Amino acid sequence: MTRTLVLVRHGQSEWNLKNLFTGWKDPDLTDKGIEEARIAGHRLKEYGLHFGTAFTSELYRAQRTLSILLEELGQPHIPTVRDAALNERDYGDLSGLNKDDARAKWGEEQVLLWRRSYDIAPPGGESLKDTGARVWPFYIHRILPKVLSGDNVVVAAHGNSLRALVMALEGMSPADIVAEEISTGIPIVYRLNADSTVAEKTVLSH
Ligand SMILES: O=C(O)[C@@H](CO)OP(=O)(O)O
CA 204 to centroid of ligand 1, rounded, Å:
22
Q: Give the pLDDT of residue 206.
A: 75
Structural fold of domain 4-203? Rossmann fold (3.40.50)
Can you tell me the ipTM of this complex?
0.97
Return the residue whose CA atom lies nearest to atom 10 of ligand 1. Answer: 115
Q: What angle do CA 21, 32, 122 make, to 5 degrees?
A: 10
Sign for the pseudo-dihedral over CA of 96, 54, 37, 69: negative
Residue 88's SS3 state is coil
Binned at pLDDT 50, 70 and 90, residue 53 comes out as very high
- Residue 195 alpha carbon to ligand 1 centre in Å: 32
Give residue 104's Cα distance to chain centre.
28
The answer to whether the annotation marks 42 as part of a ligand binding site is no
* pLDDT for residue 67 is more than 80: yes
| Predicted TM-score (pTM) of this structure | 0.97
Q: Is 158 a catalytic residue?
A: no
- Extents of the domains making up the chain: 4-203
15 is in an annotated binding site: yes
Tell me if 115 CB under 6 Å of ligand 1: yes
Please check if 114 is assigned to a binding site: no
Residue 36 Cβ contacting ligand 1 at under 6 Å: no
Query: pLDDT digit string (tens) for 151-200?
Result: 999 999 999 999 999 999 999 999 999 999 999 999 999 999 999 999 99
- Told to judge if 206 belongs to the known catalytic residues of this protein, a careful annotator would answer no
CA dist 124 and 89 (Å) reads 11
Q: State residue 2's pLDDT score.
A: 81
